[in-house]
Amino acid sequence: MKKKLALYLFFLTFLAQSILASSIQLNLIEVAPGIFVHQGKHLDIDESYQGDICNIGFIIGKDSVAVIDTGGSLLIGELLKKSIREKTSLPIKYVINTHVHLDHIYGNAAFNDLNTKFVGHSKLPKAMQFRKNFYETLNLRYLKIPFKKSIQIPPSILIQENESILFDLGEREIKITAYPPAHTDSDVTITDITTGTLWAGDLLFIERTPVIDGDIHGFIDVLAQLISLDNINLVIPGHGTPTKNWQEAFKKSKDYFITLRDDIRHSIAEDQGLRKAIETVAQSESQKWELFDVQNSRNINQVYPKLEWE
Ligand SMILES: [Zn+2]
């Protein structure tokens, strides 16, 4: 009986997803010539995750297309692919994942084609493998996607830490740079040289509270490095609205992480304990960000144990 019910529910979900896929259009903005971005919604993963919370998009060159992040499910990936096909019939040469987080990678499966190469940080394949079970559980819980349908496609073209590689889309070069541990241990950025557009992945959050899942010292260093970049006109964050005031935006994130770090150090020095820290740390930042309480608590949980060992 239980099995029948499960099958029936699975069928219903599948049907709903198929209907959704054929009727939904991704909202796309051309933020610079040939660069299209779909902005996901600011929803929290534990509260209302629907697989479409981050920024995804693509760059069109003279003879090929590069996709940057694919969304949190096959459905979102397919919708993105459909949007690409409405703009161009050029081959999709590269799919680039800015880092390992599930909201950015589970649309990869929609682009699984012999002519498409997947590109990412040299630590990304391991990071994907490491989180596979956990992500499958989350996809089942929140998106009702069965384990076997949560398909990861790891990159085969790998960028080493502190290395930048140029890729040609046909009279349009993009530069992919890999970073030491910061937001995660698998962060890359993509720069479109022609327009001076930087895709920052989750090294930048705008509006919603930044997330740390890598190394806080590394993150602060990388943000300082990004603030001093040259020849950038526009930055596309991993979450939030693309901005021309990008130096200010990186600085706002950096200030948050410095406050987080310093307040945690203070709390440790005062021997307050994690529970008290969650009530006090970085509260001076609370009015500046969306979804602050839930994410700030997670960040404290992440960073506190590490700083205890300093
Ligand atoms: Zn992320």
Q: Sheet holding 92-96: strands in order across?
A: 29-32, 35-38, 56-60, 65-68, 92-96, 117-121, 157-159
CA angle 38, 209, 52 (to 5 degrees): 30
Give the pLDDT means over successive 10-residue stretches in the chain (310 positions): 60 55 78 97 83 95 98 96 97 98 98 96 98 96 94 98 98 98 98 98 97 98 98 98 98 98 97 95 98 97 94
Name the residue among 82, 91, 39, 80 with its Cα closest to residue 58.
Answer: 80
Residues 6+ apart with CB under 8 A from 20: 75
Name the residue among 56, 103, 113, 51 with its Cα closest to residue 84.
Answer: 56
Q: Which helix (H) or strand (E) holds 269?
A: helix 246-269
Ligand 1 midpoint to CA 201 (Å): 7
Ligand 1 midpoint to CA 102 (Å): 8
Confidence (pLDDT) at 103:
96
Ligand 1 midpoint to CA 203 (Å): 8
Ligand 1 midpoint to CA 214 (Å): 10
CA 301 to chain centre: 20
Residue 250 identity (one-letter amino acid): F
Number of structural domains found in the chain: 1
- Domain span at residue 127 reads 2-308
What tokens does 96 get? 């680039």
CA Rg value for the chain: 20
DSSP 45-83: HHHH--S--S-EEEEE-SS-EEEE---SSHHHHHHHHHH
Confidence (pLDDT) at 46:
77
Ligand 1 midpoint to CA 263 (Å): 23
CATH number at residue 177: 3.60.15.30
pTM above 0.75, yes or no: yes
Ligand 1 midpoint to CA 44 (Å): 12
H helix intervals, 101-201: 102-105, 124-143
